[in-house]
Amino acid sequence: MAPIEPPPSRAEAAPLARAGMRLADACERYFPDAFVFALAAVLMVLLAGLLLGERPGKLVRAFGDGFWVLVPFTMQMALIIVGGFVVASSPPVAALIRRLASLPRSPRGAVAFVAFFAMLTSLLSWGLSLVFTGLLVREVTRRIPRVDYRAIGSAAYLGLGSVWALGLSSSAAQLQATRSVIPAPLLAVTGVIPLSQTLFLWQSLLLAAALIALSVAIAWLSCPRPEHARTAEEMGIRFEPLIVERGRAATPGERWDESPVLGVAVAVVMLVYLFLLFRDKGAAAAFDLNTFNFAFLALGLLLHGRPRSFLTAVARSVPATSGVLIQFPFYAGIFGLISNTAIAPFMAGLFVKATTRSTFPVVVALYSALLGLFVPSGGGKWVVEAPYVMAAANAWQIHLGWTVQIYNAAEALPNLINPFWMLPLMGILNVRARDLAGFSILQLAFHAPVVLFLCWLLAQTFTYLPPAAG
C-alpha cells in the first residue's frame, strides 16, 4: 500500500497566494476598528491647527459648528446602502445570484469571478456591489466548499477598493454635480462640475477598465489552493437566509401587506417621473445623488412588489448604515476645522509650493490616499480636502473634473486597508475586517503604482476649464 503523502506546505504555494495568506494572518491580530481612524483624524487636525497658531477655542468652535453640515449628505449616503441592499435582496436578483453562482467550477475561478462582479456592480452602486457580491459569495461557497473564505470575501470587497468612485455612485463627482449639496465655501472655488466632465470622460473609463483587469488577475493568482484554504466552515461561519419567504396572509390587513398592487403602482409612478426628468433635462444634467437614490428605491419597490418584503429588506439594511450615520458627523467636524481656520489657506499654499503643473496629479493622488486612512469616506473626505486641492488646481490651471477623478481613483486605495466600507459586507459574510484585510492589502501593493502612473499620464490630455456657476 502506497504511503499517504502529507498536504503541501504553505512554502510550496504560489508566491502571491503565500503572501496573501501571511498578510491575512497578520491582519487578524493587529487591525483596529474604523471608528478609531476617525477619532485619530480629529485629534490630528486639531493638533495641526494648534501648530499653525490657531487659538484652541476657535478650533473647538469650528469643529462643533461643522459637525452637522453634512446631515443631508449623510442621509443620501445611508440611502445608497439601503437602496443597494433592497435591490440585491429582492427575489428576482436573488434568483440571478443563484444562477451566477453556478458558473465557477474551481476555487480560483470563483474568486476571480466574484472580483469581476464586485467591480462591475460597483460602477453602478457601491451599496449594490457590497450586498450583491456578499450574497454571491454565500451562494458560491455553498457550491464550492473548498474556496478560501478570506480570499473570496476580499474579492467581494474589490469594488470599493478599486473602481466604485469612478462609477455612478461616486460621492465626490455626484456632490460636485449637485449644486444644492455643495458647501458654500467649496462652491465658490469649484462651481458646479457636471458628470460629463468627471465620470463620463474617456480617460476615466480607460482608468476603470485597467483597474478591473489588474484586480481580476491578482485575485486569480493569489487564491490559495484547496489544500491551503481556510474555508467558511473552518472559520465557524453559519448563515441564516437573507431572503424572507412569502408568508400566508391571515387578515385583511396582512393581505394588503402581501399584495403587490400598491407597491408596483407607486414604483411605476416613480419610474415615470424619472423618465420625464431625464427627457426634460438630459441624463447627465438630471443625474445626481437624489435621482440615484430615487431610482434605486423605485427599482427595489418594483422588484419586491409586496410592501412587507420591501420593508423587511429595508429593516435588514439599516444596521449596515450605522458606520455612516455615526462617523460622517465627525468628518463634517473635520471639514469645519479645516475650512474655517488657517489650515485651508496653508494647505492650498503648500500644494502650490510643493508641486508643479506636471507633478500636481501625483501629489494629489498620494495625499488623497494618505488622508483616506483617517477619513474613509468618498464624499466626507472630499469636502475635507476639496477647498484647498481645488484652489491649487485652479492656480495651476489643472482640469477640475479630472482633479475630481484623480481623487476618486486614489481615495479608493486606502479602502483596501481601512475597514470602514467593509462594514456592510462584514455583516452579510459574518466576518471581521481583519479576516478580509490581508488579501486586500496584497491588491493595494499592485494598485497604488498603477493608479499614480495613470492619473499623471492621463492628466496630460486635458485643457483647463474655469469653474462654472451651474
Alpha-carbon gap, residue 363 to 406, rounded angstroms: 10
Query: Does residue 247 belong to any structural domain of this protein?
Result: no
pLDDT score at 2: 43
Q: What angle do CA 170, 175, 181 make, to 5 degrees?
A: 150
pLDDT score at 248: 67
Q: Identify the weakest region by mean pLDDT among 60-64, 183-187, 361-365, 461-465.
A: 183-187
Alpha-carbon gap, residue 79 to 127, rounded angstroms: 9
Span 160-218, pLDDT tens digits: 889 999 998 888 898 888 888 788 888 889 999 999 999 999 999 999 999 999 999 99
Query: Does residue 351 belong to any structural domain of this protein?
Result: yes
**Count of positions (residues) in the chain:** 470
Q: Residue range 120-125: average pLDDT?
A: 89
Contact at 8 Å (CB) between 27 and 418? Answer: no
Alpha-carbon gap, residue 234 to 362, rounded angstroms: 43
Most confident by average pLDDT, 11-15, 106-110, 463-467: 106-110
pLDDT higher than 70, residue 33? no
Contact at 8 Å (CB) between 330 and 68? Answer: no
Alpha-carbon gap, residue 115 to 35, rounded angstroms: 27
What torsion, rounded to 10 degrees, do the Cα atoms 375, 379, 382, 383 define? -100
Q: Around Cβ 53, how many Cβ atoms within 10 Å?
A: 9
> Under 8 Å CB-to-CB from 320, ≥6 apart: which residues?
81, 85, 130, 423, 424, 427
pTM exceeds 0.85 for this model: no
pLDDT score at 13: 58
Most confident by average pLDDT, 20-24, 122-126, 284-288, 346-350: 122-126
Span 412-458, pLDDT tens digits: 898 888 766 776 777 778 787 778 878 888 999 999 999 999 999 99
What the block records as the C-alpha cell of 386 is 476639496
Residue with the bigger pLDDT between 335 and 101: it is 101
Domain extent at residue 91: 14-236+255-459
Query: Does residue 54 belong to any structural domain of this protein?
Result: yes
Q: Residue range 38-47: average pLDDT?
A: 87
Q: Give the phi and the psi of residue 454 in degrees, each rounded to 5.
A: -70, -35
Residue 455 vs residues 367, 402, 452: alpha-carbon distances, Å: 13, 9, 5
| DSSP 3-state of 455 | helix
Q: Residue range 111-139: average pLDDT?
A: 89
Query: Domain tally for the chain?
Result: 1
pLDDT score at 446: 94
Q: Residue 7: pLDDT band by 50, 70, 90 thresholds?
A: very low
Residue 137 vs residues 177, 220, 359: alpha-carbon distances, Å: 34, 15, 41
Closest among 93, 133, 85 to 321, alpha carbons compared: 85
pLDDT higher than 50, residue 27? yes
Q: Residue 365: pLDDT band by 50, 70, 90 thresholds?
A: very high
401: which DSSP letter? H
Q: What angle do CA 248, 318, 173 make, to 5 degrees?
A: 125
Alpha-carbon gap, residue 62 to 216, rounded angstroms: 44
Query: Does residue 93 belong to any structural domain of this protein?
Result: yes
Span 225-273, pLDDT tens digits: 888 888 888 888 766 555 555 566 667 777 776 788 888 999 999 999 9
pLDDT score at 20: 65
Say what angle helices 34-51 and 343-354 make with each other, to 10 degrees.
90
Closest among 150, 158, 172, 90 to 121, alpha carbons compared: 158
pLDDT score at 6: 45
What stretches of 164-272 adopt beta strand conformation (E)?
Answer: none
pLDDT higher than 60, residue 121? yes
pLDDT score at 284: 59
Span 146-165, pLDDT tens digits: 999 999 999 999 998 899 99
Query: Does residue 243 belong to any structural domain of this protein?
Result: no
pLDDT score at 40: 85
Q: Around Cβ 17, how many Cβ atoms within 10 Å?
A: 22
197: which DSSP letter? G
Query: Does residue 2 belong to any structural domain of this protein?
Result: no
Say what angle helices 126-143 and 91-101 make with each other, to 10 degrees.
50
| DSSP 3-state of 191 | strand
pLDDT higher than 90, residue 59? yes
Residue 19, burial from CB neighbour count under 10 angstroms (0-12, 13-18, 19+): middle
At residue 259, what is the residue type?
S
Work out the mean pLDDT of the chain and round it to a whole number: 84
Residue with the bigger pLDDT between 9 and 426: it is 426
> Under 8 Å CB-to-CB from 237, ≥6 apart: which residues?
149, 429, 430, 431
Cell 436573488 belongs to residue: 94
Q: Residue 43: pLDDT band by 50, 70, 90 thresholds?
A: very high
Residue 344 vs residues 58, 338, 383, 425, 428: alpha-carbon distances, Å: 14, 5, 11, 35, 39
Contact at 8 Å (CB) between 170 and 285? Answer: no
pLDDT higher than 50, residue 67? yes
pLDDT higher than 70, residue 294? yes
Residue 16 vs residues 49, 104, 156, 375, 442: alpha-carbon distances, Å: 43, 21, 18, 29, 8
281: which DSSP letter? H
Q: What angle do CA 399, 280, 462 make, to 5 degrees?
A: 10
Q: Identify the weakest region by mean pLDDT among 103-107, 209-213, 394-398, 427-431.
A: 427-431
What the block records as the C-alpha cell of 96 is 440571478
Span 351-361, pLDDT tens digits: 778 888 889 99
Query: Does residue 313 belong to any structural domain of this protein?
Result: yes
Q: Residue 1: pLDDT band by 50, 70, 90 thresholds?
A: very low
Query: Does residue 447 belong to any structural domain of this protein?
Result: yes
